Structure 1
């Protein structure tokens, strides 16, 4: 499947984007200053503050940019590994908002950033040192096991098997992290397909309004070797993501599916 190249941003797209990012900066500052004291005293409120911030980001995207989010399938509620296609910043916001106790694997340096790093620690993000190579995976597994012993458990650990953002229709080799973590911990894997890159490209500003879809696919439980798990995970995510792209008319030779 060839990658889809979205149109370039026009001069009319920039005012909306500037307004959106100004709103993001303002809300982040206000909620950060308001929420940080609460989280320091009551750490269990970290996810509530994060959900409020995410809701504001998605609400502003709907009002200012004209981009809505449609969720399909059942978002996970318990401890699991959420493995998702990653096309833009929009799918990070939407996926994190759907997961009630979301957590990410993050570089150690990010956790040292004021406000954002403090909140990331409180919601249970797992720090790693990528310079340590294979030792980094041991760090992740140790962090997952430690998080599962906390009140409330691990939550939903969101990872991106391709390791970076891709253009709609583009596919990169899947890394084996999700399968390795599952084999070590016994956690189910929740595959997720997206088409967010059609509305908010991997680089640049949001370019068009519409309905972006986040689809939760059937989970993959334990009982298979990690290689087989990754083959199944890749097949499910790629097939479903291509289907969502074609449905929206975002792949060569396709047109949007008619409204029901």
Structure 2
């Protein structure tokens, strides 16, 4: 059954995502707000496919942040990169620059408000990241970052990337940490399994804290559900 579910998900989600992405430029003709709505609709489609084809659904608990915030989330799968767009009311998401090279999707993602970051983390790249994040804040949007920098397996807890502290200082917004155990069901390699994944909001962390303190608090908060299955 697990194999059948995975095959069905690939055929339906990826099969229908091709025309959905190719039609994205049409929604852009009606402005960024229309494109954001279109992208959120695609993310809802992904949620539907995960729920009804894979048997995976998300449970969100913990104190929901109000207003404009800086989300810092654990990253264990593709699932949260799309589901958090739905759940968090379309924040500007910080993602690796490589995604911009995907034909059409990369173009549409940048107009949605994806903020691209260079893995090399040069001073020039970091300045560009700060500029784009500042624009997102000034537009009234929240910002979502996966501060460990890459997708990890359950049990892995790498340190936060250096860019997190700079963004925290520049944005001057409360931080809403988000922990998850989705990696149990949606592994980095192998078949996805049915079940309920938990996404847990930690207590909001105020702006203005020293770097060592904010990094320690966020790292602890996004890893509260993490455990090594081995």
**TM value normalised by structure 2:** 0.89
CA distance in 2, matches of 1:53, 1:200: 19
Match of residue 210, structure 1, among 174, 192, 195: 195
Q: Which runs of 4+ in 1 moved over 6 A?
A: none
CA distance in 2, matches of 1:161, 1:214: 16
* Structure 2 residue ranges without an equivalent (≥5): none
Is 2:214 the partner of 1:225? no
Contact 1:101 1:123 in 2 (8 A): no
Contact 1:176 1:226 in 2 (8 A): no
Aligned residue for 1:82, secondary structure, equals: strand
Aligned residue for 1:41, secondary structure, equals: coil
* Structure 1 residue ranges without an equivalent (≥5): 1-11, 253-260
Aligned residue for 2:75, secondary structure, equals: coil
CA deviations on 1:92-115 (whole Å, 9 max, x unpaired) are 222222111222223444324322
Provide closer, same or farther for how the CA distance between residues 110 and 70 of structure 1 changes in structure 2, counting only shifts above 3 A.
same
Is 2:105 the partner of 1:103? no
TM-aligned CA deviation for residue 229 of structure 1: 0.5
- 1:5-154 alignment runs, 5 A limit: 12-76=1-65, 78-131=67-120, 133-150=122-139, 153=140
Aligned residue for 2:57, secondary structure, equals: strand
TM-aligned CA deviation for residue 28 of structure 1: 1.2
TM-aligned CA deviation for residue 187 of structure 1: 1.8
CA distance in 1, matches of 2:18, 2:26: 13
TM-aligned CA deviation for residue 50 of structure 1: 1.5
CA distance in 2, matches of 1:120, 1:192: 23
Contact 1:77 1:99 in 2 (8 A): no
Contact 1:94 1:214 in 2 (8 A): no
**TM value normalised by structure 1:** 0.79
Is 2:171 the partner of 1:185? yes
TM-aligned CA deviation for residue 230 of structure 1: 0.3
Contact 1:75 1:99 in 2 (8 A): no
What does residue 147 of structure 2 align with? 161
CA distance in 2, matches of 1:235, 1:85: 11
CA distance in 2, matches of 1:74, 1:47: 26
CA distance in 1, matches of 2:108, 2:62: 28
Provide closer, same or farther for how the CA distance between residues 211 and 234 of structure 1 changes in structure 2, counting only shifts above 3 A.
same
